[in-house]
């Protein structure tokens, strides 16, 4: 029985619960046991019991693991940061409420890089997450816990957030599917902010269908988030088996930092796409190569303001001092991690009088150019495909002393973040025994189209997940 | 010998107005003054992790009304910025404000040009326990977040004011205007209206501006005037001694009359403004603009002009009637009762009624506009002497009633002309000495005769009329 539950896709489990063939409470207990037995460091908290989620909902009682930075009323929600250790929010994030209303109980809170700042989950204040494919390697980040839990089979599916690649890159490194929706498609209310103009909630799953099902209930305008929008078409469950007539624009395969093994697997997937009827052509995104630079100005700038509220005055940790300024400085020094402090410094500098135009202003101009690059590209192709990460999962500690090398993990994912457009990463093969991700990108609100293409490719690729025990 | 030069003050005003909305600027907490501390709060205005601001549409409407009242241009889009600073009154560590794209620009109120009108949120309120009253050295500081997120409009004038008195007068016009619009309580003591002044001086006749200083948070018009006066004197003294004005922010202590520096230019904050990514731009639609325009009542400046132009009310009285809208309302209601001449009524409202009721609203007394009109009509017709009419007004304010009945029942009506003539004749006969002096050219002596008449008439006679009758009879 348990073997069977482990092999079921989440969407199939939901169908069986709704049909009355599977007990939602047994399903919850099964996954709770799996989460409790997690050995990857994916979980920071595991729920005791489901709430009153309706089994008849589209998510049919299948529990969902939630990245720590989603506020859940009364449940520890620290965004992976010591400064919020023990903080229990007085309210619940809209994304989590929507999942629960659709029938998915919260299974647990997953580990992440502190305030989503990182590409390896080594920046968590509560210890690193290990890649289920190789415990010596990172799962990617920042949503490393949500990705590793699904890959390791300690969660049927999960949600994370993507600011510059924080869903797609860990999905790639863990060999699962991860979707970053269009900016504004999912409410950010209750998502502990990193960079407000980039942060976006999205799902992880073992199949494209699972991810599409979660996404379909996540999207929609929320009166509590002024930047959220109604999804014009909604998200349909994918059904495509062919790619006839689909024009794929390929970007980034000639880049220097791209591992040959990764390039090879991506090329193989492109060959399969052609067999399914797609055409492929290389395209230029002239400014996308500058995305990393722009991203690492804009995101820290916004973060420097978003993290100002952690001042020891109202909630969270405080280091006592006699004078106000000392209290601020000691609290923020003692309880923020090194990478968070680094980005606050970078962002504060970039916004400072006399530097604003040179840094923040220039970065915003680059951002506009990248938006225009994609707009031009989508006049000639239907979708853009790229590697998700230039490398497979790297070793723990390998890049922690070299922030720039770490930042380059986001080379293929930051352009879409800056452009606010949807992108999904699917596993497309192994290199050195580790998963490689293929990124499929579409124009704003084209989630259904990229998921359909991903679905057709998924079948052709036939990727087998990490061997589960 | 030192040359003493004449300096011209150049003053601009910045005004913060708390809007009278149902809820706060970016959350649904009630917007109310005077509640128990920290009872009007929620995760948003306490800046809990993950919370997002949502712009209050009613606040935008009231702010647009303010922009329109000044005849401002309203740009197609205005945007919010984050103004970053660390302080316990700032729960997010930044204030959501407007920076280089304000809601409304280039307007005018009276003689003063309005530079801009923008929206922002108020900070929380700090209370420092201890002798200093400031956070430094306080034994304990506590924060009341009820005020955090209260909708504010900041109004910035051009440096068009040339004296402290003019600045205070502008402040009063602004207060009257906003009060008339109903957009704010404009209560300086409660902080719903707060004023800062930018002050500089320059040699009379020169066009370039001197270095300015900023006077913070004057909480009455009197203090505003005294503070600016003190600052002008301070700057003049520095320039006369060949010194240099430092750009700084000053606090005026109305008790000691002294100015203390809060911070110098070197200590000025770098607020690191950047566009607020959690909010979308405000793009007023034609419907929003029309709704704001049509919600505007007749404003005090227009009303004063109308009183002066259409009713012939003298300028000072017209301004008083317009600034204190309740007095203007009384005048207009009394005029509608059609009992007296407009100028005479305006004179009575601004002098006798205002003196009698002080700062209170005539609507809160027993005085009926029609009764006032009738009373003033009787005075004009000579049916009741002015001095007696003031007593009648007192009765109308305290008890109400019909002025004719009050005059009749208390025997306050003017003496009839035959009766008065007899009294005058008796007074002339009984004051022969005085009459002799008047005839000899000592005009002051008439006072004794008038006094005698008034005594006998018990106030039911008009002094001027009595004088006229005496002179007629003795041929002086």
List pLDDT tens digits, range A421-440: 999 999 999 999 999 999 99
Q: How far is A322 from chain B (nearest CA, A)?
A: 9
CB contacts, 8 Å: B43 with chain A: 89-91
Q: How far is B27 from chain A (nearest CA, A)?
A: 9
E strands, A394-454, in order: 423-431, 434-441
Helix (H, G, I), strand (E, B) or coil at A247: strand
* Cβ distance of A308 and B92 shorter than 8 Å: yes
Q: How far is A442 from chain B (nearest CA, A)?
A: 23
pLDDT for res B97? 98
Annotated domain spans of chain A: 2-240, 288-366
The architecture that CATH gives domain B417-474 is Orthogonal Bundle (1.10)
pLDDT of B36 above 60: yes
pLDDT of B1 above 50: no
| pTM for this entry | 0.90
pLDDT of A155 above 70: yes
- Chain-centre distance for alpha carbon A337: 21
Residue A442 buriedness (CB in 10 A; 0-12 / 13-18 / 19+): buried
* Cβ distance of A305 and B47 shorter than 8 Å: no
Active site residues of A: 67, 142, 166
pLDDT of B476 above 70: no
H/E stretch holding A31 reads helix A24-36
Structure tokens at A60: 């049919």
Would you list which residues of chain A are within 8 Å, Cβ to Cβ, of chain B?
A: 69-71, 77, 79, 84, 87, 89-91, 93, 188-193, 195-197, 223-227, 301-302, 304-305, 307-309, 311, 313-315, 323-324, 328, 348, 351-353, 356, 360
Helix (H, G, I), strand (E, B) or coil at A383: strand
pLDDT for res B85? 96
- Which of B148, B277, B282 to mutate against chain A (most A CBs within 10 Å)? B277
pLDDT in tens, B157-171: 999 999 999 999 999
Q: Which residue has the higher pLDDT, B418 or A393?
A: A393
pLDDT of B2 above 60: no
The architecture that CATH gives domain A2-240 is Alpha-Beta Complex (3.90)
* Cβ distance of B49 and A93 shorter than 8 Å: no
Distance CA A110, CA B151 (A): 38
Would you list which residues of chain B are within 8 Å, Cβ to Cβ, of chain A?
A: 43, 46-55, 82, 84, 86, 88, 91-94, 135-136, 141, 143, 270, 272-274, 277-280
Mean pLDDT of chain B: 91
Query: Average pLDDT, stretch A362-388?
Result: 98
pLDDT in tens, B94-119: 999 999 999 999 999 999 999 999 99
pLDDT in tens, B243-271: 999 999 999 998 888 999 988 777 778 99
pLDDT in tens, A178-218: 999 999 999 999 999 999 999 999 999 999 999 999 999 99
Q: Which residue has the higher pLDDT, A147 or B425?
A: A147
* Cβ distance of A192 and B54 shorter than 8 Å: no
Closest CA to A166 of A124, A112, A208: A112
Residue with tokens 């052709």: A460
Query: Average pLDDT, stretch B269-296?
Result: 97
Mean pLDDT of chain A: 97
* Cβ distance of B135 and A84 shorter than 8 Å: no
Helix (H, G, I), strand (E, B) or coil at A425: strand
* Cβ distance of A226 and B54 shorter than 8 Å: yes
DSSP letter string over A207-224? Answer: SHHHHHHHHHHHBS--TT
pLDDT for res B5? 67
pLDDT of B136 above 70: no
Structure tokens at B339: 């009992």
pLDDT in tens, A110-131: 999 999 999 999 999 999 999 9
CB contacts, 8 Å: A116 with chain B: none
pLDDT of A333 above 90: yes
pLDDT of B455 above 70: yes
* Cβ distance of B84 and A351 shorter than 8 Å: yes
Instruction: Confirm if A113 and A123 have CB atoms less than 8 A apart.
Output: yes
Hey, which of A151-160, B262-271, B354-363 has the most confident mean pLDDT?
A151-160
Q: Which residue has the higher pLDDT, A363 or B389?
A: A363
**Structure confidence at residue A92 as a pLDDT band (50, 70, 90):** very high
Residue B106 buriedness (CB in 10 A; 0-12 / 13-18 / 19+): middle
* Cβ distance of B55 and A226 shorter than 8 Å: yes
- Which of A70, A71, A305 to mutate against chain B (most B CBs within 10 Å)? A305
- Which of B28, B44, B45, B52 to mutate against chain A (most A CBs within 10 Å)? B52
pLDDT of B274 above 90: yes
CB contacts, 8 Å: A304 with chain B: 84, 272
Residue in B50, B53, B54 nearest the CB of A93? B50
* Cβ distance of B50 and A352 shorter than 8 Å: no
Query: Average pLDDT, stretch A15-43?
Result: 97
Instruction: Confirm if B228 and B199 have CB atoms less than 8 A apart.
Output: yes
CB contacts, 8 Å: B277 with chain A: 195-197, 227, 302
Annotated domain spans of chain B: 7-294, 300-403, 417-474
pLDDT for res A172? 98
**Structure confidence at residue B139 as a pLDDT band (50, 70, 90):** confident
pLDDT of A465 above 90: no
**Structure confidence at residue A469 as a pLDDT band (50, 70, 90):** low
Query: Average pLDDT, stretch A240-266?
Result: 96
Predicted interface score ipTM higher than 0.90: yes
Percent of chain B residues topping a pLDDT of 90: 66
Distance CA A424, CA A447 (A): 9
Annotate chain B with three-state secondary structure.
CCCCCCEEEEEEEEEEEECCCCECCCCCCECCCCCCCCCCCCCCCCCCCCCCCCCCHHHHHHHHHHHHHCCCECCCCECEEEEECCCCCCCCCEEEEECCCCCEEEEEECCEEEEEEEEEECCCEEEEECCCCCCCCCCEEEEECCCCCCEEEEEEECCCECCHHHHHHHHHHHHHHHHHHCCCCCCCCCCCEEEEEEEEEEECCCCCCCCCEEEEEECCHHHHHHHHHHHHHHHHHHHHCCCCCCCEEEEEECCCCEEEEEEECCCCCCCCCEECCCCCCECCCHHHHHHHHHCCCCCHHHHHHHHHHHHCCCHHHHHHHHHCHHHHHHHHHHHHCCCCCHHHHHHHHHHHHHHHHCCCCHHHCCCCHHHHHHHHHHHHCCCCCHHHHHHHHHHHHHCCCCHHHHHHHCCCCCCCHHHHHHHHHHHHHHCHHHHHHHHCCCHHHHHHHHHHHHHHHCCCCCHHHHHHHHHHHHCC
Instruction: Confirm if A408 and A190 have CB atoms less than 8 A apart.
Output: no
Residue A405 buriedness (CB in 10 A; 0-12 / 13-18 / 19+): middle
Buried b (16+ CB within 10 A) or exposed e, B411-449: ebebbeeeebeebbeebbeebeebbebbeeeeeebbeeb
* Cβ distance of A190 and B50 shorter than 8 Å: yes
**Structure confidence at residue A357 as a pLDDT band (50, 70, 90):** very high
Q: How far is B54 from chain A (nearest CA, A)?
A: 6
Q: How far is A349 from chain B (nearest CA, A)?
A: 9
Query: Average pLDDT, stretch A436-447?
Result: 98
pLDDT of B398 above 80: yes
Measure Cα distances from B240 to A117, A328, B2, B293 in Å.
58, 44, 9, 49
Residue in B55, B93, B270 nearest the CB of A309? B93
pLDDT for res B268? 75
Residue in B47, B50, B93 nearest the CB of A71? B50
Hey, which of B16-20, B127-131, B307-311 has the most confident mean pLDDT?
B16-20
**Structure confidence at residue B57 as a pLDDT band (50, 70, 90):** very high
């Amino acid at each position: 029985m348990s073997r069977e539950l482990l092999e079921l896709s989440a969407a199939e489990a939901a169908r069986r619960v709704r049909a009355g063939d599977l007990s939602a409470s047994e399903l919850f207990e099964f996954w709770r046991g799996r989460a409790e037995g997690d050995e990857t460091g994916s979980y920071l908290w595991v729920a005791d019991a489901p709430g009153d989620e309706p089994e008849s909902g589209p998510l049919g009682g299948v529990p969902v693991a939630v990245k720590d930075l989603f506020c859940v009323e009364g449940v520890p929600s620290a965004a992976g940061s010591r400064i919020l250790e023990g903080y229990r929010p007085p309210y619940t994030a809209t994304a989590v409420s929507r999942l629960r209303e659709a029938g998915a109980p919260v299974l647990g809170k997953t580990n992440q890089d502190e305030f989503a700042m990182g590409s390896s989950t080594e920046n968590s204040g509560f210890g690193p997450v290990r890649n289920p494919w190789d415990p010596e390697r990172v799962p990617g980040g920042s949503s490393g816990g949500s990705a590793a839990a699904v890959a390791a089979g300690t969660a049927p599916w999960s949600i994370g957030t993507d600011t510059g690649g924080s869903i797609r890159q860990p999905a790639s490194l863990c060999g699962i599917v991860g979707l970053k929706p269009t900016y504004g498609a999912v409410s950010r209310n209750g998502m502990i902010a990193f960079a407000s103009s980039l942060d976006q909630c999205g799902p992880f799953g073992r199949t494209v269908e699972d991810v599409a099902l979660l996404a379909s209930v996540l999207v929609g305008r929320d009166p509590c988030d002024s930047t959220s929008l109604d999804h014009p078409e909604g998200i349909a469950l994918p059904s495509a088996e062919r790619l006839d007539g689909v024009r794929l624009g390929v970007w980034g395969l000639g880049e220097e930092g791209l591992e040959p093994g990764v390039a090879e697997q991506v090329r193989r997937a492109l060959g399969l796409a052609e067999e399914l009827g797609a055409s492929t052509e290389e395209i230029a995104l002239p400014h996308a190569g500058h995305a990393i630079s722009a991203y690492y100005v804009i995101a820290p700038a916004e973060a420097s303001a978003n993290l100002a509220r952690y001042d020891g005055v109202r909630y969270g940790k405080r280091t006592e001092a006699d004078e106000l300024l000392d209290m601020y400085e000691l609290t923020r020094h003692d309880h923020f991690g090194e990478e968070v402090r680094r980005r606050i410094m970078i962002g504060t500098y970039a916004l400072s009088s006399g530097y604003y135009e040179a840094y923040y202003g220039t970065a915003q101009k680059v951002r506009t150019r990248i938006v225009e690059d994609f707009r031009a590209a989508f006049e000639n192709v239907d979708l853009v495909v790229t590697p998700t990460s230039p490398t497979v999962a790297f070793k723990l500690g390998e890049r922690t002393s070299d922030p720039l090398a770490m930042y380059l993990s986001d080379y293929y994912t930051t352009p879409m973040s800056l452009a606010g457009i949807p992108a999904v990463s699917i596993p497309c093969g192994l290199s050195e025994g580790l998963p490689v991700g293929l990124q499929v990108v579409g124009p704003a609100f084209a989630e259904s189209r990229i998921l359909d293409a991903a679905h057709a490719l998924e079948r052709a690729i036939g990727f087998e997940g990490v061997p589960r025990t | 010998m030192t040359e003493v030069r004449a300096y011209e003050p150049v003053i601009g005003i910045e005004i913060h107005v708390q809007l009278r909305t149902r809820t706060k600027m970016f959350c649904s907490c009630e917007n109310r003054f005077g509640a128990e501390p920290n009872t009007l709060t929620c995760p948003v205005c306490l800046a809990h992790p993950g919370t997002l601001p949502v712009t209050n549409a009613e606040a935008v409407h009231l702010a647009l009304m303010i922009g329109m009242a000044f005849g401002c241009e309203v740009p197609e889009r205005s945007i919010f910025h984050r103004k970053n600073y660390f302080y316990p009154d700032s729960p997010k560590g930044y204030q959501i404000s407007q920076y280089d794209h304000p809601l409304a620009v280039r307007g005018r109120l009276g003689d003063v040009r309005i530079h801009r009108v923008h929206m922002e949120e108020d900070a929380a309120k700090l209370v420092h326990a201890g002798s200093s009253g400031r956070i430094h050295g306080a034994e304990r500081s506590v924060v009341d977040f009820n005020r955090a997120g209260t909708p504010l409009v900041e109004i910035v004038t051009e440096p068009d004011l040339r004296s402290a008195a003019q600045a205070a007068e502008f402040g009063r016009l602004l207060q009257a205007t906003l009060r008339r619009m109903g957009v704010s309580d404009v209560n300086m003591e409660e902080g719903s209206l707060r004023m800062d002044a930018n002050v500089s001086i320059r040699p009379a006749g020169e066009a370039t501006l001197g270095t300015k200083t900023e006077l913070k948070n004057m909480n009455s018009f009197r203090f505003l005037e005294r503070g600016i006066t003190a600052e002008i004197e301070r700057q003049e003294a520095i320039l006369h001694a060949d010194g240099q004005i430092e750009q700084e922010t000053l606090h005026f202590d109305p008790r000691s009359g002294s100015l203390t520096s809060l911070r110098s230019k070197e200590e000025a904050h770098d607020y690191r403004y950047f566009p607020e990514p959690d909010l979308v731009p405000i793009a007023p639609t034609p419907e929003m603009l029309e709704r704001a325009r049509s919600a505007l009542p007749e404003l005090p400046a227009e009303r004063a002009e109308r009183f002066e132009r259409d009713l012939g009310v003298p300028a000072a009285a017209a301004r008083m009637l317009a600034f204190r809208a309740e007095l203007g309302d009384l005048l207009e209601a009394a005029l509608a009762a059609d009992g007296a001449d407009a100028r005479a009524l305006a004179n009575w409202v601004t002098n006798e009624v205002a003196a009698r009721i002080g700062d209170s609203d005539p609507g809160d007394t027993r005085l009926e506009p029609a009764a006032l009109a009738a009373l003033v009509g009787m005075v004009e017709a000579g049916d009741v002497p002015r001095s007696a009419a003031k007593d009648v007004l007192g009765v109308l304010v305290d008890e109400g009633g019909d002025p004719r009945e009050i005059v009749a029942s208390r025997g306050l009506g003017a003496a009839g002309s035959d009766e008065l003539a007899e009294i005058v004749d008796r007074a002339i006969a009984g004051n022969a000495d005085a009459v002799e002096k008047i005839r000899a050219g000592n005009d002051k002596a008439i006072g004794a005769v008038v006094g005698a008449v008034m005594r006998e008439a018990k106030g039911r006679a008009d002094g001027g009329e009595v004088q006229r009758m005496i002179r007629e009879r003795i041929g002086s």
